[in-house]
Structure 1
Amino acid sequence: MAGKFSQAFRESLTFPQNLVWLLWVAFPLYGFMASNFLLPPDDGYTRQVVMASLTVDISAVEPLVFMVFNLLGVIPMAYALLVLFDGDEQPLPAWPFVILSFVVGAFGILFYVALRRWGRDVEGAKSRLQQQLDTRTGPAILLIVSLLLVIVGAGGSVQSYVDLWQTKPLVHIMTIDLVLLLLVLPFLTMDDMRRRHVDARAWRVLVVAVPLFGVLLYLLSRPKLIDRGASSSGSPV
């Protein structure tokens, strides 16, 4: 394990993965500076947004803030449906970083993305979790939730959101978090296309042009991953 980790780390220091490392370091540093020096201190707005999300009280906050905050719960699930299919070819298991991403967003998952070995076929048999995730149910639920959140956000004010972005640390940091997550998501999706032998230029254009919905539509229609462990042993899954 240590040897695989050290080799993967050396490989990750080359372009373009070194850019992901840069983002992983720069994001929390900027977040600290913005929260403590560049923006006014939190005045309870974070708690207000959290409570509005827990109680689904859309009227309690700016609709666009409600949308972005809750999309940051949807997008890590999309990441999970991609990286949890990684196997023994990776230096570290993906699940701890997926869980961490629900708490700290991009900072949690970017470490795994930077260290991840790209362009590799999945090694080992499909686990029970992978078999359960390789369905259309999860992507369908995420797509419906995302559509509902966008409908909610459409009732908001862009100018109001910009004002909050300039004055509220939560809105400022979570907006950057959303951008980073959506920036990396299409590349993981295209790597998933490669290992599932999905060769469609239209899909690549869609996931880059419309990162969230393009990815969710792909996840909804992608073929199941071949269980290489079962095929090599000749035993059923």
Structure 2
Amino acid sequence: MREPTIYPRLPAFIASNGAGILGLIPYLLLRQPQPQFSGRKDMSIKISDSRWTGIVLLLTTIWLLAWACLNGDWGDFVKQWQSIPFVHLITWDCCLMAVIFPSLLGDDMARRGLADDRIFWAVSLVPLLGPLVYLCLRPPLPESSTEIATFPLTAIS
């Protein structure tokens, strides 16, 4: 099997940076499922696959949420949401990403040998924190398609 390259995803990456999740929708509709990982892990895959990356992202998000809850001004946010198109758009962008995320989660779980529907629904139904906890607990990608890792929460009933 041929190693995937970044070039087919490059237009979607550029569009998503310019238009948010709306730029990713054509890519998500046209992409083919990839339930197996083939090839070698380069440095970017090793970094994004690392539990430490997930832990840093989770802790940073918790800190930002706590800071926002303690210091945020919801009245001002509502005013800006109603009057500033960028704030309105970025809020809807975050909501759409939470809705679209499960379409990518199934492939990632298959690549890692996870078949438990409870994990899928627990991660999918808890916006923002569910995917971040998943990044912390998921097993690493196998080096080849024959190696399957175990998920730490599968033993918990």
- TM interval, shorter chain, is 0.7 to 0.9
1:188 maps to 104
Distance in 1 of aligned mates of 2:73 and 2:118: 33
Query: SS where residue 101 of structure 2 aligns?
Result: helix
Residue 91 of structure 2 is matched in structure 1 by 175
Deviation at 1:223, TM superposition (A): 0.9
Equivalent positions of 1:95-134 (< 5 A) are 97-98=12-13, 101-118=16-33, 120-134=35-49
The aligned residue for residue 215 of structure 1 is 131
Whichever residue aligns with residue 164 of structure 1, its letter is Q
Instruction: With a CA cutoff of 8 Å and minimum separation of 6, indicate the structure with the bigger relative contact order.
Output: 2
- 2:35–2:108 Cα contact (<8 Å) kept: no
Ranges in structure 1 where 5+ consecutive residues have no aligned partner: 1-86, 232-237
Q: Which runs of 5+ in 2 are unaligned?
A: 148-157
Contact 1:124 1:228 in 2 (8 A): yes
- Per-residue deviation at 1:103? 4.7
Alignment of 1:1-237 (within 5 A): 88=3, 93-94=8-9, 97-98=12-13, 101-118=16-33, 120-155=35-70, 156-228=72-144
CA contact (8 A) 2:37 2:145 kept: no
Q: Give the distance between the partners of 1:152 and 1:128, measured in 2 at CA.
A: 32
- Alpha-carbon deviations, 1:139-184, whole Å to 9, x = none? 1111111111211221334343222211111111111111111111
Percent of pairs identical after alignment?
30
Q: Count residues in correspondence.
A: 145
TM-score by length of 1: 0.52
Whole-Å Cα distance in 2 between the matches of residues 173 and 123 of structure 1? 37
CA RMSD of aligned residues (A): 2.9
Cα distance in 2 for residues equivalent to 1:127 and 1:90? 12
Q: TM (normalized to structure 2)?
A: 0.74
Q: Which amino acid aligns with 1:135?
A: S
Aligned partners of 2:37, 2:51: CA distance in 1, in Å?
20
1:203/1:214 contact within 8 Å kept = no
